[in-house]
Structure 1
Amino acid sequence: MIAVVGCGLWGTNILRTLSEMRVLEAICDEDSTCSSNRSQCFQVPALTFPQILENDRIQGVVLSIPAPLHAKMALLVLSSGKHVWIEKPMALNLQDAKNICALADENNLQVLVGHVIRYHGAFEKMVTLIHAQEIGEILYIDCIRNNWGRVCPWEKDALWSLGVHDISLVLSLMAQRPVKALRYVQSCVQGGDQGMLLLKFKNGVHARIFSSWCYPIKEQRCVVVGSQGSLVFDDMNPDGQELRLLRHDILKNPPFLSSQTSLILEYDYHTLPLRRQCEAFVKAISTGTPVLTPGQEALWGIEILTTAQEIMF
């Protein structure tokens, strides 16, 4: 049913999950040794990319490949009549992103973009609580994704590589596009090691996104501050303890801010986010159910990164 193109570290995680679900049909990798090893390990044929496109048994293709190849190969997959899962960022320029979405719409096909954090049980509960106004009106959002980690210069800069995940989170939480975007990128070791994106929405809410692959402490956190409380999704906490509700209030008179109480919220953490994402792709192929991270939303994210006004220091 599904083929995976790209058998690197993350591609292998996807391979393993789809194999466990018994929907893995074939694999493909430019490294013949890697392809052969994965073929034997997961007991599926290793095919060339053209063979995958021609195979009628394959209905969906996962592209876990370098970002510069995303647009070209995604368009070929969609042209062959197959659904496509594209790892982030969906494309490296706005026109390519528009072309992908247009072709998917034209052929009535689904595009899933690999923002796996959106499929985390803690974040799904966070979205539900915010839309139910559990913390009142949103005042502002902070997203932080830092690490002393894997530098991806082929993904332009840290905002394109890491910040795209948090743009997806913010768009989901706000359910609207921003009216203004500012960005600042700093180069420490090489181009674009650290970045900050400031978003303003028409209801007055501001979101701040901080991204760095040159930071000595690993942080993956989304904070939403509301008029009646705050929600903190900290992906560095142990399983089942990633989501906290802090109760507070905004007073009319000094000192204005009330004291806070903190509560760890329960959610279903037994199913891994990648498994949820794979299940969403299979369901989209089988039933046409829209995915949480469609190409159209990724297009908005790329538009934000492309058109944001540069802050100069």
Structure 2
Amino acid sequence: MIDVLKNTPRVALIGCGAWGKNLARNFAELGALTGVCDTDTRKAKVIALEHKIEAIDEDQVFTHPNVDAVVISSLAPLHASQAERALKAGKHVYIEKPMALSVKDAQNLCALAKDRKRVLMVGHLLQYHPAFMALKERLSELGPLKHIYATRLALGRFRRQEGVLWDLASHDISLILALAQSKPKTIEAVGQAFLTPGKPASALLTLTFPNNLTAHIHASWLSPFKEQKLVVIGEKGIAVFDDRKPLAEKLLISKDCFEWEEDQPQANDGFKSSAVLLPEFEPLRHECLHFLTCIQEGTEPLTSGEEGLRVTEVLEAAEKSLQEKFVKPGGCSK
């Protein structure tokens, strides 16, 4: 993988929080970071000093002549308005997930990017993970896909601006849509919102697709243990992407899991599992480099604005389903 680009686009970062620091480091190491800003100016100054760049205010991000692209890692409710302002200023835009908190805002950003001929990319990081990239390459080994389930569990970090699906499930929806290669036919969700009314901290999402493919996602801030797992089940095999495992064990493919006796399926206790050898690289570095390359070459990102819009459509439909079904304190459904 090439880590250095000629004539590297110049990037300004909005948001110097826990994840913003990682974005700053990667864009700085790629020679692209030219400025950072945060509502907490102390955070911005610390990162600016670390990478020997400017700490600037938000207005400068959009007007500075030495800024070609804006990377947005602020609070989720600010993503759409900041991205809109950047696109209208003629900047390319990378937005951390979720790209927006409504389909209307996501559509607006996609239309703006197309009109201004600017790259719009969404930070669906796991699409750039070596394990998921390898899974896509070997998907045919599983046969026709039948079911996918994902778990993304941890204790916290609790958010008030958006529910757990918007925070955690964005990644898994992005992966599942990439594997299904189609939009879901039905979307249903149920959740528990006892911490912040109307903002579930734990939720289950069910998707159905054409060709009898189904998917489930369990996202929760209420788990005492961490789990980040994607299981893909086909007629011929099962793939497990477990991001909590060491690199050598992150992607397992199991074959001959089922056998048939008199037209009845039976579990084969002697099934074989093998770990897939993966290249060692940081997914975020790959993602940041991809954004810069798309700007230089005028190509559409893997996780483009349109891809982000499809994820937002699922999330908004899930939110609507949640508002109808989430469990209120006392155990009664709305």
Establish whether TM, by shorter chain, passes 0.5: yes
Q: Which residue of 1 aligns with 2:137?
A: 128
Matches within 5 A, 1:4-83: 4-83=13-92
Task: Kindly provide the CA deviation profile for residues 87-123 of structure 1, in whole angstroms up to 9, marking residues without a partner as x.
Answer: 1111111211111111111111111111112111001
Residue identity (%): 35
Letter in 1 for 2:96: E
Unaligned runs of 5+ in 1: none
Q: Which residue of 1 aligns with 2:214?
A: 206
> For 2:274, which of 233, 258, 263 is the aligned residue?
263
Q: Which residue of 1 aligns with 2:246?
A: 238
TM-score, normalising length from structure 1?
A: 0.95
Q: Which residue of 1 aligns with 2:176?
A: 170
> For 2:311, which of 282, 294, 301 is the aligned residue?
301
Matched, 1:281 2:288: no
Partner-residue secondary structure (3-state), 1:178 = coil
Matches within 5 A, 1:71-150: 71-130=80-139, 133-150=140-157
d(CA) in 2 for partners of 1:215, 1:249: 30
Letter in 1 for 2:158: V
How many pairs were matched up?
Answer: 309
Task: Kindly provide the CA deviation profile for residues 252-297 of structure 1, in whole angstroms up to 9, marking residues without a partner as x.
Answer: 42453434211111011x2101101111111111112322211111
d(CA) in 1 for partners of 2:249, 2:194: 34
Q: 1:159 touches 1:195 (CA, 8 Å); kept in 2? A: yes
Letter in 2 for 1:225: I
Matched, 1:161 2:156: no
Measured at CA, do residues 240 and 252 of structure 1 come closer, stay the same or move farther in structure 2, by a change above 3 Å?
Answer: closer
Letter in 1 for 2:247: D
TM-score, normalising length from structure 2?
A: 0.89
Q: 2:125 touches 2:283 (CA, 8 Å); kept in 1? A: yes
d(CA) in 1 for partners of 2:161, 2:174: 20
* Offset, 1:238: 1.1
Letter in 1 for 2:180: M
Letter in 2 for 1:46: A
Measured at CA, do residues 262 and 63 of structure 1 come closer, stay the same or move farther in structure 2, by a change above 3 Å?
Answer: same
Provide the aligned C-alpha RMSD in A. Answer: 1.4
Q: 2:71 touches 2:94 (CA, 8 Å); kept in 1? A: yes
Task: Kindly provide the CA deviation profile for residues 13-53 of structure 1, in whole angstroms up to 9, marking residues without a partner as x.
Answer: 11111111111111111222222222211111112222121
Task: Kindly provide the CA deviation profile for residues 131-168 of structure 1, in whole angstroms up to 9, marking residues without a partner as x.
Answer: xx11111110001000012011212x111111111100
Q: 1:71 touches 1:91 (CA, 8 Å); kept in 2? A: yes
Partner-residue secondary structure (3-state), 2:314 = helix
Letter in 2 for 1:161: D
Task: Kindly provide the CA deviation profile for residues 53-79 of structure 1, in whole angstroms up to 9, marking residues without a partner as x.
Answer: 122322111001000100110000000
Measured at CA, do residues 255 and 177 of structure 1 come closer, stay the same or move farther in structure 2, by a change above 3 Å?
Answer: closer
Pick which of 251-260 and 25-34 moved more: 251-260
d(CA) in 2 for partners of 1:288, 1:221: 34
Partner-residue secondary structure (3-state), 2:55 = coil
Matches within 5 A, 1:210-221: 210-221=218-229
Task: Kindly provide the CA deviation profile for residues 209-266 of structure 1, in whole angstroms up to 9, marking residues without a partner as x.
Answer: 1100111110000000111111000000012320001112544424534342111110
Letter in 2 for 1:128: E
d(CA) in 2 for partners of 1:33, 1:202: 51
Q: 1:145 touches 1:220 (CA, 8 Å); kept in 2? A: yes
Unaligned runs of 5+ in 2: 1-9, 326-332
Q: 1:59 touches 1:285 (CA, 8 Å); kept in 2? A: no
* Structure 1 segments of 4+ aligned residues over 4 angstroms from their partners: none
